[in-house]
Amino acid sequence: MKTTKRYGKRADTALTMWVKLARAHDTFKRLTADNIRTFGLTTAQFGALETLGHLGPMLIGELTRKQLVSGGNMTVVVNNFVKEGCVERIVDTKDRRAIPVQLTAKGKRLFEKIFPHHARHVAEIASVLSEQEQEDLGRLLKKLGIGLVTRRGGQ
């Protein structure tokens, strides 16, 4: 049952878009999280592994911002990965306050083992859209995200 067409065309259009975006996001997130669990990882663990695997060493704060999670949660994830031997802290002799983290050889092997499987899974989920539609949607979502950040003053 359509619940809009009450608040004016502009608001009704935006509300309809938001509901569709939220539902698609929830479904996509659930399907990718289900796949991530098959690797024995949480989404936060997978996110840290993926980010460090693709972007290399970085500060925990930067990792937190890229993954959109709390600093406390990411610190726990990193600490657990350090205990497992997948991540190591890099001591900077020039600035002891800044301690970047990076994947160890074991962490790199794990990343290289599981990420291709995840990438294929995401491609399968996304295949309900053509490649051109995926590119168009990606462009529109980027425009939306940048526009919202700009509107908020860069936050």
Q: pTM for the full model?
A: 0.82
Q: What is the pLDDT of residue 106?
A: 98
Please state, in angstroms and rounded to a whole number, the distance separating the CA atoms of residues 134 and 127: 8
CA distance 150 to 108: 35
Q: Extract the tokens encoding 89.
A: 């802290």
Measure the CA–CA gap between 81 and 84, rounded to whole angstroms: 5
Q: Residue 81: exposed, middle, or buried by beta-carbon count in 10 A (0-12, 13-18, 19+)?
A: buried
Please provide the average confidence, as pLDDT, over all residues in the chain: 91
Architecture in CATH for domain 26-148: Orthogonal Bundle (1.10)
Tokens standing for residue 64:
């937190």
Residues above pLDDT 90, as percent of the chain: 74
- 131/91: higher pLDDT: 131
Confidence of residue 87 (pLDDT cuts 50, 70, 90): very high
Residue 3 has pLDDT above 80, yes or no: no
**Mean pLDDT lowest among 80-94, 115-129, 131-145:** 80-94
Give the pLDDT band (50/70/90) at residue 1.
very low
**pLDDT per position as a tens digit, 100-122:** 999 999 999 999 999 999 999 99
For 16-42, write each residue's pLDDT tens digit.
Answer: 999 999 999 999 999 999 999 999 999
Mean pLDDT value of segment 55-83: 88
The residue ranking higher by pLDDT, 71 or 102, is 102
